[in-house]
Amino acid sequence: MDRAVVVEDLRRVFGDTIAVDGASWAAGTGEITCVLGPNGAGKTTTIECLEGLQQPDGGRCRVLGTDPWQASADHRARVGVMLQDGGLPQSVPASRLLAHLGRLYRTHRGPELVERLDITPFARTPVRRLSGGQRQRVALAAALLGDPEVAFLDEPTAGLDPHARLAVWDLLRERRDEGVALVVTTHGFEEAERLADRVVILDRGRVVADDTPAAIAAGGRLEDAYFALTGGLRGS
């Protein structure tokens, strides 16, 4: 595996909370890696360290061989990011935002993404007036627009209707086949089973599984393996 993303003994602490507790895993070029785990398991914290938005308290992260916390603008242009809350400018319509990003990245892929994600019907509506699922689609288009070599997508299909979810899965598989390393956090077992080449399961900041979905499911259902590994419902 050509390791586009490497997490080694990563540690991130907030006061008394150990959000990431010595986690090690990697994601390959031309693979979709789904990161699963209960609420509070440390998924978003890990992804934000990999995006260079948070500085680890211990261990190290590498993205395309670079420490994301120290990364240059050139490195950042090679990495696509879709944040959990969208992180989009609110008063701008999607058409203007995507046209602006298209000029910034010198790419003509905007119209293709608009069509694939069916953004046209609401392209002229300011982002703040969009539904949650519509906003997700715009955020995903923005993350993939610059033809990134690595993309971090935090729950990209959360709240999407079934048609939109299938369209997103097709798009991500295509990008994977073009050689992009895609790291996708999700709570969806079906999503992980149908999409992932590898699954990393985090629990309380630690890696409790890191393998293909079939190997983790071990002849059964991924969902059952997940509950066995993460110990069922907790208050966290």
Contact set with ligand ATP (CB under 6 A)? 14, 17, 19, 37, 39-45
Based on CB atoms, which residue is closest to ligand ATP, 9 or 178?
9
Task: Give the helix ranges, DSSP H, for the chain.
Answer: 43-50, 73-76, 94-105, 110-116, 132-144, 162-177, 189-195, 213-217, 222-230
Tell me the closest approach of the beta carbon of residue 60 to ligand ATP, in angstroms.
18
The two beta strands, 181-185 and 58-63, are: unpaired
Question: CA separation (Å) from 67 to 32, 55, 76, 87, 122?
Answer: 21, 10, 11, 23, 38
Based on CB atoms, which residue is closest to ligand ATP, 122 or 189?
189
Tell me the closest approach of the beta carbon of residue 190 to ligand ATP, in angstroms.
17
| CA 126 remoteness from chain centre | 24
Could you give phi then psi for residue 79, rounded to 5 degrees?
-125, 125
Tell me the closest approach of the beta carbon of residue 80 to ligand ATP, in angstroms.
19
* CA neighbor of 10 nearest in space, from 194, 163, 205, 208: 205
∠ CA 38-43-46, nearest 5°, is 155
Based on CB atoms, which residue is closest to ligand ATP, 21 or 31?
21
Based on CB atoms, which residue is closest to ligand ATP, 116 or 135?
135
Tell me the closest approach of the beta carbon of residue 232 to ligand ATP, in angstroms.
16
∠ CA 133-136-137, nearest 5°, is 95
Based on CB atoms, which residue is closest to ligand ATP, 49 or 180?
49
Tell me the closest approach of the beta carbon of residue 37 to ligand ATP, in angstroms.
5
Give the full edge-to-edge strand order of the sheet including 206-211: 79-82, 150-154, 181-185, 32-36, 198-203, 206-211
CA distance 215 to 10: 24
Tell me the closest approach of the beta carbon of residue 17 to ligand ATP, in angstroms.
5
